[in-house]
Amino acid sequence: MKRILFLFLDGLGIGPPTESNPFARTEYPAFRRLAFNQSWHAPFTEHVASRHVVRSLDATLGIDGLPQSGTGQGTLFTGINCANLVGRHFGPFPHSKTHAVLDEQNVFQQLRTFPCPKTPVAFANAFPPPFFDASRRRSTVTTHCCLASNVPLRNRSALVGRRAVSADLTNAYWRTQLDLDVPERTVTDAASVLASVTKDHAFTLFEYFLTDKVGHGRVDLSPTTLLSELDRFVETLLDQLDPSTDTVALTSDHGNLEDTAHTRHTRNPVPLLVYGWAAPFFANATDLMDVTPAIVDALRSTRI
């Protein structure tokens, strides 16, 4: 069985190599390896090989203003330009004018009946107990798509049972902010769990949003510390997945963290890094609309 892991990193663009760009200040070995031996800043050279594609994607969706998570993620996870549907960039939550498209055309929905020995699609993030209190829950784009497509949201027992990964990878937020008794996890161990979840499904999504939160200055963590941890996570993933059967597709919804001179989003392009058998399906991707169709086409091609 062929598999795709979609590693979605919120708020991470390709910007000029200025003093305020953390990608220009420090080297990240796994990021460099994933980008064909180059740092994640401009000029960013595109590469197309049989199992490895490096592109940058236009995240502006042809609309003025700063791209936002609601419309950017909606577009990434459906292939439909959600900013066009709304008439502007909107976020961080999904705009009501995009709900129907998110319900009917999200990537999970498109792959829901894909033949697979186990469940064809999965969302690998773990959600803590307070999230399941519906009265307090406000759906993000990803949780909206899951609820619309009957994709289970993984809980504390999935986290403890190594069938899910927490949004911060290490479970630190669950332990210190929510005071929950869950084990600490290293980023490399979190990557091992995600690699093992990936093996069970044709399509797995993992969402990482600390990149955007640190870009907004809402988390007391330096960008280079965060990116070094994320780099180790990516390194372990690359080592544990087999490019002949697994593909990692990594991208973002808009820029933010690549410019720490301010705490707003940017209009920079976002990186698209695809490593594994499905890479050729992403060879012509130019904007956020091109990601879901490439995932669906690649997996459908494996049924022929």
Helices (H), the chain: 22-25, 29-34, 69-76, 82-86, 99-105, 107-111, 141-148, 156-160, 172, 187-198, 210-215, 223-240, 291-301
Span of 4-12, 130-138, 186-194, 197-205 interacting with Zn ion by CB under 5 A: 4-12
- Paired residues of 121 in beta bridges: 203
Query: Least Å distance between CB 219 and Zn ion?
Result: 14
Span of 19-27, 197-205, 209-217, 226-234 interacting with Zn ion by CB under 5 A: 209-217
- 253 touches Zn ion (CB under 5 A): yes
**Residue closer to Zn ion, measured from CB, 212 or 258:** 212
**Residue closer to Zn ion, measured from CB, 72 or 276:** 72
Is 20:11 a contact under the CB 8 Å cutoff?
no
Q: Is 165 helix (H, G, I), strand (E, B) or coil?
A: strand
Query: Least Å distance between CB 56 and Zn ion?
Result: 17
Query: Least Å distance between CB 265 and Zn ion?
Result: 7
> β-pairing, 3-9 with 47-49?
unpaired
Span of 14-22, 33-41, 197-205, 250-258 interacting with Zn ion by CB under 5 A: 250-258
Tokens 């773990």 correspond to what residue? 126
Query: Least Å distance between CB 69 and Zn ion?
Result: 3
- 266 touches Zn ion (CB under 5 A): no
Q: Which of 69, 106, 166, 171 touches Zn ion by CB under 5 A?
A: 69
Interatomic CA distance for residues 54 and 72, integer angstroms:
20
Cβ-proximal residue to Zn ion, closest one:
69
**Residue closer to Zn ion, measured from CB, 21 or 68:** 68
**Residue closer to Zn ion, measured from CB, 11 or 223:** 11
Q: Is residue 92 classed exposed, middle or buried when 0-12, 13-18 and 19+ CB atoms within 10 A define those classes?
A: middle
DSSP state of 199: T
Is 129:158 a contact under the CB 8 Å cutoff?
no
Query: Least Å distance between CB 92 and Zn ion?
Result: 6
- 10 touches Zn ion (CB under 5 A): yes
**Residue closer to Zn ion, measured from CB, 68 or 166:** 68
Tokens 């995932």 correspond to what residue? 295
**Residue closer to Zn ion, measured from CB, 61 or 241:** 61
Is 228:271 a contact under the CB 8 Å cutoff?
no
At position 61, the amino acid (one-letter code) is L
Span of 61-69, 161-169, 219-227, 294-302 interacting with Zn ion by CB under 5 A: 61-69
> How many residues of this chain interact with Zn ion, rule: CB under 5 A?
5
Interatomic CA distance for residues 163 and 159, integer angstroms:
6
Residues at the interface with Zn ion (CB under 5 A) = 10-11, 69, 212, 253
